């Protein structure tokens, strides 16, 4: 006779799948793709290795599902930002700060991205959702950039992907390089005492770069 837990898993497959994903996210982030073990994930979720293979097809499928979920979360937050009712400069600053806040509070995401780069993005290359994972971020930024250009505030030689790269570079660096940076320079980039300073810094950097004339000093956008 099956246990009550096993019967509950049969009745509520979505909850079981979500539990597996939560534990797998931490295991992959802490141990890497190679170091994480499906047996260990199963043991921590009160399910079985067989069930994990049933839901995800194996370790590779589980890791890809974890990556896709992590990207979907940040994309959903970006979509919720009401940028169309903000002045372009403020909208850009808020998007940069949203990314800063997300990456700080989701260090597993930063580690997962770093791990996937170690593996040359071989898992994401198999994803059927790559366009969905990319489009929301660029749609939001494209609208902001176009309104800023129309207002004569933003420079013409940058596109949404340029700006996305700048924001991501700063925000990912804090987590991905936290320990080596601290070992070399003695500064913890996730020190709460530095948080407000660094959060303002990414907003200032992006705004200054996007409002600078390609051949001269930053434009005067105080009225924005």
Instruction: For tokens 């936290």, name the residue.
Output: 178
Alpha-carbon 99 to chain mean position: 7
Helix 38-45 / helix 13-35 crossing angle, nearest 10 deg: 150
**In the prediction, which pLDDT does 11 show?**
53
Q: What is the pLDDT of residues 9-30, one digit of tens each?
A: 455 788 899 999 999 999 999 9
CA–CA gap between residue 44 and residue 16 (Å, rounded): 12
- Cβ–Cβ < 8 Å for 123, 67: yes
pLDDT at 47: 87
Burial pattern 13-30, b for ≥16 Cβ within 10 A else e, equals: eeebbebbbebbbebbbe
- The pLDDT score that the predictor gives to residue 109 is 97
Tens digit of pLDDT for each residue in 158-213?
A: 999 999 999 999 999 999 999 999 999 999 999 999 999 999 999 999 999 999 97
Mean pLDDT of the chain: 90
DSSP state of 193: G
Is the model's pTM score more than 0.85?
Answer: yes
pLDDT, one tens digit per residue, over 30-39 is 999 999 999 9
Model confidence at 5: pLDDT above 90: no
Q: What sections of 87-129 are H helices per DSSP? A: 88-105, 107-118
What average pLDDT does the segment 135-158 reach? 94
SS (H, E, C) 67-87: HHHHHHHHHHHHHHCCHHHCC
pLDDT for 217: 53
Cα–Cα distance for residue pair 193/189, rounded to 1 Å: 9
């Amino acid at each position: 006779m099956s246990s009550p837990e096993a019967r509950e898993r049969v009745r509520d497959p979505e909850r079981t799948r979500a539990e597996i994903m939560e534990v797998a996210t931490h295991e992959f982030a802490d141990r890497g793709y190679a170091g994480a073990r499906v047996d260990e994930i199963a043991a921590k979720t009160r399910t079985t290795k067989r069930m994990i293979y049933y839901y995800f097809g194996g370790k590779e499928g589980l890791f890809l599902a974890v990556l896709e979920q992590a990207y979907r979360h940040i994309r959903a937050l970006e979509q919720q930002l009401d940028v169309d009712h903000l002045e372009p400069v403020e909208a850009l600053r808020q998007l940069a700060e949203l990314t800063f806040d997300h990456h700080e509070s989701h260090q597993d995401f930063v580690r997962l991205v770093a791990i996937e780069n170690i593996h040359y993005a071989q898992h994401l290359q198999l994803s059927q959702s790559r366009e969905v994972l990319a489009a929301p971020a660029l749609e939001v930024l494209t609208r902001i950039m176009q309104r800023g250009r129309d207002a004569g505030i933003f420079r013409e030689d940058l596109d949404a992907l340029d700006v996305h790269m700048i924001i991501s570079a700063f925000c990912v660096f804090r987590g991905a390089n936290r320990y080596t940076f601290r070992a070399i320079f003695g500064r913890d980039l996730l020190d709460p005492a530095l948080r407000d300073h660094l959060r303002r810094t990414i907003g200032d950097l992006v705004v200054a770069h996007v409002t600078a004339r390609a051949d001269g000093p930053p434009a005067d956008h105080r009225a924005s």
